């Protein structure tokens, strides 16, 4: 009897944690999240490229 109750409690806890884990994966891999991450990555690369270009010698924009 006690073993059955313990098994049921452990099973319920496992099912809850598995459900939470699956929900996190669904949120992470849905199309909107994938597109958003792709756009964020592309934007970061463009900003880094722009910053490197602006910091390059001879590109300071002063009078030469």
Q: What is the pLDDT of residues 18-58, one digit of tens each?
A: 999 999 999 988 999 889 999 999 999 999 999 999 988 77
Q: Which two structure tokens, joined as six digits, stand for 44?
A: 């970061």
Cβ atoms of 28 and 35 closer than 8 Å: no
Q: Which two structure tokens, joined as six digits, stand for 7?
A: 């098994």
Asked whether residue 61 carries a pLDDT value surpassing 60, the answer given is no
pTM above 0.75, yes or no: no
Q: Give me the long-range contacts of 23-28 (CB less than 8 A, separation at least 24).
A: none
Asked whether residue 64 carries a pLDDT value surpassing 50, the answer given is no
Contacts for 59 with CB less than 8 Å, ≥ 6 apart: 53
Q: Where are the alpha helices (DSSP H) in the chain?
A: 2-29, 31-55
Asked whether residue 62 carries a pLDDT value surpassing 90, the answer given is no
């Amino acid at each position: 009897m006690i073993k059955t109750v313990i098994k049921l409690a452990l099973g319920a806890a496992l099912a809850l944690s598995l459900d939470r884990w699956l929900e996190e994966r669904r949120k992470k891999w849905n199309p909107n999240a994938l597109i958003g991450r792709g756009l964020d990555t592309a934007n970061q690369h463009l900003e880094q490229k722009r910053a490197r270009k602006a910091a390059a010698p001879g590109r300071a924009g002063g009078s030469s």
